[in-house]
Structure 1
Amino acid sequence: MLDVLLVVVLVVFNVYVAVWSGLPRAERSGCGPWAGLGLQVVAASAMLMRKARPLTALGLVTGMAVVMSLSMWLVPGWFLASADGAGVWVPSAAPVAAYSAVVYSTRPRVAWALTGVLTLLATRLWALSFAVTASGLVLTAVPALLGMYVGARRGLIAALTERAERAEHERFLVAEQARAEERVRLAGEMHDVVTHRIGLMVLQAGALRVQAPDAHVRQEAEALRAAGCQALEELRDLVGVLRSPQSAEGVVEAGTAEGVRKPDLGLAVLVAESRAVGVEVEFEEVGDASVLAPVVARTVYRVVQEALTNARKHAPGGSVRVDVRYEVDRVRLAVRNTPPTKPVDGDLAGSGDRHGLSGLRQRVVLVGGTFAWGPLPEGGFVVESALPLYVPTTRTWIRSGEPAASRPWGSGT
Structure 2
Amino acid sequence: MPAPLVDGGLVAVAAGDAWLAVSDTSWLGVALAAVACAALALRRFLPLAVVLLTLPATVVADLVFAPLAALFALAERSRDRRLPAGCAVLMAAASAAPWPWHDPDSRDRTWTLIQFVYTLAGTAAPVLLGQLVQARRDLSQRLAEIEEAREHERALHAQAVLARERAQLAREMHDVVSHQVSLIAVQAGALQVAAKDTDSREAARTIRSLSVSTLDELRNMVALLRASGGRATELTPQPTLADVRRLVATSGIDAELTGRLPDTVSTPAQRAIYRTVQEALTNVRKHAPGAGATVELWRDGDHVGVTVTNSRPTRPSLPLPGSRQGLVGLRERAEILHGTFASGVTAEGGYEVSLRIPAQPE
| TM score, norm. by length of structure 1 | 0.46
* Cα distance, 1:56–1:223 mapped onto 2, change above 3 Å: farther
2:161 and 2:49 map into 1 onto residues whose CA distance is: 54
Which ranges of 4 or more aligned residues in structure 1 deviate by more than 6 Å?
none
Does the CA-based 8 Å contact 1:40-1:91 persist in structure 2?
no
Structure 2 residue runs without a partner (length 5+): 99-107, 231-362
The structure-2 alpha-carbon separation of the partners of 1:233 and 1:38, relative to structure 1 and needing over 3 Å to count, comes to farther
Structure 2 partner of 1:6: 10
**Residues 196 and 5 (structure 1), Cα distance of their counterparts in 2 relative to 1, 3 Å cut:** same
Identical aligned pairs, as a percentage? 33
Contact 1:199/1:228 (<8 A) preserved: yes
Kept in 2: contact 1:61–1:91 (CA 8 A): no
Correspondence for 1:111? 84
Partners in 2 of 1:105 and 1:208 — Cα distance?
88
TM-fit CA distance, 1:91 = 6.9
Q: Which residue of 1 aligns with 2:301?
A: none
Flag the structure with larger Rg: 2
Rounded Cα–Cα distance in structure 1 between residues aligned with 2:216 and 2:49: 72
The DSSP-based 3-state class of the residue aligned with 2:140 is helix
1:152 maps to what in 2? 135
Distance 1:46 1:37, change over 3 A: same
Query: 1:238 aligns to what?
Result: 221
Q: CA deviation at 1:201?
A: 1.4
Matching residue of 1:102: 75
Change (3 A) 1:128 1:160: farther
Do residues 127 (structure 1) and 136 (structure 2) align? Answer: no
Q: Tell me how far apart the structure 2 counterparts of residues 193 and 199 of structure 1 sit (CA, whole Å).
A: 10
Partner Cα separation in structure 2 for residue 134 and residue 115 of structure 1: 11
- The offset of 1:245, in angstroms, is 4.3
Q: Look up the match of 2:290.
A: none
CA distance in 2, matches of 1:115, 1:134: 11
Q: CA deviation at 1:131?
A: 6.0
> What's the secondary structure of 2:22's corresponding residue?
helix
In 2 relative to 1, CA 217–123 (structure 1 residues): closer, same or farther, beyond 3 Å?
Answer: farther
Query: In the TM superposition, what is the alpha-carbon distance from 1:134 to its structure 2 partner?
Result: 4.9
Aligned CA distance change for structure 1 residues 243 and 17 (closer, same or farther; 3 Å)? same
Q: Spell out the pairing of 1:17-96 with structure 2 (5 A cutoff).
A: 17-19=21-23, 21-22=24-25, 33-62=26-55, 64=56, 69=59, 80-81=60-61, 88=62, 92-96=65-69
The structural deviation recorded for 1:143 is: 0.9
1:47-82 alpha-carbon deviations (Å, 9 max, x no partner): 2222233233223334x35xx64xxxxxxxxxx34x
Shift of 1:96: 0.8
- Counterpart CA distance in 2 for 1:58 and 1:236 is 76
CA contact (8 A) 1:115 1:141 kept: yes
Give the structure 1 partner of residue 169 of structure 2. 186
Q: For the residues of structure 1 that align with 2:46 and 2:203, how far apart are their CA atoms?
A: 86
Match of 1:224 in 2: 207
| Deviations, residues 89-121 of structure 1 (Å, cap 9, x unaligned) | x67411111111111224444333333322332
Q: How does 1:139-288 map to 2 (within 5 A)?
A: 139-245=122-228
Q: Distance in 2 between matches of 1:192 and 1:118?
A: 82
2: CA distance, partners of 1:56 / 1:207: 96
| AA partner of residue 140 (structure 1) | T
SS at match of 1:42: helix
CA contact (8 A) 1:123 1:137 kept: no
Asked if the contact 2:192/2:200 (under 8 Å) is kept, the reply is: yes
Q: 1:35 to 1:174 in 2, by over 3 A?
A: same
> What is the distance in 2 between the residues matched to 1:10 and 1:119?
18
Q: Out of 108-117 and 176-185, give the one that drifted further.
A: 108-117
Question: Any stretches of 5+ residues in structure 1 without a counterpart?
Answer: 23-32, 70-79, 82-87, 248-413
Task: Tell me the distance in 1 between the aligned counterparts of 2:200 and 2:109.
Answer: 119
Alpha-carbon separation, structure 1, partners of 2:78 and 2:161: 45
The two structures have a TM-score, normalised by structure 2, of: 0.52
CA distance in 1, matches of 2:64, 2:32: 8
Alignment length, in residue pairs? Answer: 216
1:233-382 matches, cutoff 5 A: 233-245=216-228
Q: Distance in 2 between matches of 1:227 and 1:138?
A: 91
Contact 1:208 1:218 in 2 (8 A): yes
Give the Cα separation in 2 of the matches to 1:61 and 1:11.
Answer: 13
User: Secondary structure, in 3 states, of the residue corresponding to 2:44?
Assistant: coil
Whole-angstrom distance in 2 between the partners of 1:160 and 1:211: 75
Gap change, CA 1:162 and 1:222, over 3 Å in 2? same
Distance 2:192 2:52 in 1: 97
- Which one scores higher on RCO, CA 8 angstroms, separation ≥ 6? 2
Residue type of the partner of 1:57? V
